[in-house]
Amino acid sequence: MDVQGYLAERAPRVERALEAAVPPARDAPQRLHAAMRHLLFPGGKRLRPALALAAAEAVGAPPERALPVAAAVELVHTYSLVHDDLPCMDDDDERRGRPTVHVAFGEAIAVLAGDALLAAAFAVLAREESDGSAECLLGVIRDLAEAAGASRLVGGQADDLEFDPNEADPLRIESVHARKSAALIAASVVGGARLGGADAATLERLRRFGEAVGVAFQIADDLLDEDEDDGCSLVRAVGREAARARAEALLDTALRAIDTLGDRAEPLRELARFAVRRGE
């Protein structure tokens, strides 16, 4: 499968959903709305939305069924990047080749923009026009709220901030990755499949898939990071070859979790391979 072609073909649908989710920059308060859009458009590869769409396809539904969760997850992801970049967090000046939101708009507006993006994510899922039953949507909202909260993304970031770079415990490092990175990726996959009508057993297999892919994805990021000696990095703890082997083992675990889904899950499998091997 041509993964780049798959991403490019589905990107316009995701962009339209995101445009509908956030106010135009011309609407007041203009500075806040411009800050919300600064990192959202243009975005990255939209991998998380693509995983949601592919998960719907994997359970036999049209990809459009998963657009609400695809947009919502991307909004949560963008909010997390805006806040992670703040001086009180990772203190980054550049993201995706552009000034970070706090550099471009100031710290206060950056905090508010992140808050507004997080709220917009749940507004997308709560809209009446979203496909799926109320019970199904409630499950998606619950999963995303848990993925974004203190036990997952926010808690992972808290532990990341306090992490001692000299610590070499791979299990603790993977615990941070599982919460800070993998939880949202798993929410993308499970949410897309849930809106696609998957049963409980299939959702559990896809959850395991998403969690394994998410940790492997973060390890792949560590392998691409030129500053690998800083922060919570498996590369620093075990070395590049062992870290690469661990990412491959996690990818294999993920693929085995969905081996019963057949050919319709092939886009999901290829996206996983792309996420883990993109630096090769």
Average pLDDT rounded to a whole number, residues 136-163: 94
Domain span at residue 166 reads 3-277
And the tokens for 189?
């996959």
Beta bridge partners of 94: 99
Chain mean position to CA 163: 22
How would you label 203-222 residue by residue, b for 16+ Cβ within 10 Å and e otherwise? bebbbbbbbbbbbbbbbbbb
**Phi–psi pair at 181, nearest 5 degrees:** -110, -50
Q: What is the pLDDT of residues 63-98, one digit of tens each?
A: 999 999 999 999 999 999 999 999 999 999 999 889
The residue among 213, 160, 156 whose CA lies nearest residue 188 is 213
Beta bridge partners of 95: 98
The residue among 16, 36, 47 whose CA lies nearest residue 210 is 47
Predicted confidence (pLDDT) at residue 36 exceeds the cutoff of 70 = yes
- Whole-number average pLDDT of the chain: 93
Separation of alpha carbons 208 and 127, rounded Å: 28
Exposed / middle / buried, residue 273 (Cβ in 10 Å: 0-12, 13-18, 19+): middle
And the tokens for 277?
């091997």
Separation of alpha carbons 175 and 45, rounded Å: 25
Separation of alpha carbons 246 and 276, rounded Å: 11
Q: pTM for the complete prediction?
A: 0.95
Predicted confidence (pLDDT) at residue 105 exceeds the cutoff of 90 = yes
Q: What is the pLDDT of residues 245-271, one digit of tens each?
A: 999 999 999 999 999 999 999 999 999
Chain mean position to CA 93: 21
The secondary element (H helix, E strand) that includes residue 94 is strand 94-95
User: Helix or strand or coil: residue 160?
Assistant: helix
Judge whether 60 and 199 are in contact, CB under 8 Å.
no
Rg (CA), the chain: 18
Q: What is the pLDDT of residues 172-220, one digit of tens each?
A: 999 999 999 999 999 999 999 999 999 999 999 999 999 999 999 999 9
Separation of alpha carbons 84 and 176, rounded Å: 14
Predicted confidence (pLDDT) at residue 51 exceeds the cutoff of 70 = yes
Give the total number of structural domains in the chain: 1
Chain mean position to CA 256: 21
Beta bridge partners of 99: 94
How would you label 182-194 residue by residue, b for 16+ Cβ within 10 Å and e otherwise? bbbbbbbbbbbbb
The residue among 120, 32, 35 whose CA lies nearest residue 72 is 120
Give me the CATH number covering residue 69.
1.10.600.10
